[in-house]
Amino acid sequence: MPRAALSRQELETGRVRLCDAALALYEREGEVAVSFRRIADQTGTSHTRAYRYFEDKAALFAAMRVRCYEQFARSTRQAADAGDSTTARIQALCMGVLDFVEAYPERFEFMFSPRQPALTQYPALMAIRRETFDYFVALIQRAVDEDLLEGDARTLTHVAWAGIYGLFTLHVSGQLVYGRQLRDVYRPMFRRVLYPLFEDFQDHPAATTAGAGPQRRLKP
């Protein structure tokens, strides 16, 4: 007799449970340790039952990344909402991203791993990534509208994100080994990328270069 189909609530509850178990396993032992059999052991179910929730391991990983993005979006928006002006909100958002990476370095690395299928294969993952990025763009657009920044908001956000991603990737992979750590470099980077929004953020004293030219608003 064929098994009864899972209800929508049962499907969602089971997917969340398996995702959370898989993420915990990933954070402890790395990507190679994540398998349906190991997850089944963690959740007290059979490994064949996991296939009722996910077609394959790639689908599981995509769902895990959605969970990470949901957490990332929630925490960074909460940080931004604490600001009482556009400048304060963008500063708080950027520091919220920093706090997330420091608290969950493995999740950041997993979210942006180059070893993943094309996003077009997983609409839910593409949607949460786009929604998160568009939220950042909207804040930058407010700064442009208020004459705090000059240029195209989406281009400015891409430039800022390129800096964030590069710096955080160096941090997570342990490559910041030349006398500066993440928090030494983070604020100076944003002072230059999103000047003047970060002009009141102080550089690391030893990182200031004598004779540096004036900072200008970034233009596309």
Instruction: Give per-residue pLDDT as tens, 52-94.
Output: 889 999 999 999 999 999 999 999 999 999 999 999 999 999 9
How far apart, in Å, are the Cα atoms of 213 and each of 96, 208, 209, 210, 216? 29, 11, 9, 9, 9
3-state secondary structure the chain: CCCCCCCHHHHHHHHHHHHHHHHHHHHHHCHHHCCHHHHHHHHCCCCCHHHHCCCCHHHHHHHHHHHHHHHHHHHHHHHHHCCCCHHHHHHHHHHHHHHHHHHCHHHHHHHCCCCCCCHHHCHHHHHHHHHHHHHHHHHHHHHHHCCCCCCCHHHHHHHHHHHHHHHHHHHHCCCCCCCCCHHHHHHHHHHHHCCCCCCCCCCCHHHCCCCCCCCCCCCC
pLDDT score of 105: 93
pLDDT given for residue 219 in this prediction: 31
pTM reported for the whole predicted model: 0.83
Q: pLDDT tens across 38-60, in order? A: 998 888 888 788 888 899 999 99
Query: Which pair of tokens denotes residue 219?
Result: 């233009």
| CATH number corresponding to 1-54 | 1.10.10
Residues 100-145: pLDDT tens digits? 999 999 999 999 988 888 888 999 999 999 999 999 999 999 999 9
Domain boundaries, the chain: 1-54, 64-207
Q: Does the domain at residues 64-207 carry the CATH identifier 1.10.357.10?
A: yes
pLDDT, tens digit, for every residue of 148-200? 999 999 999 999 999 999 999 999 999 999 999 998 998 888 888 888 888 77
Domains 1-54 and 64-207 fall in the same CATH topology: no
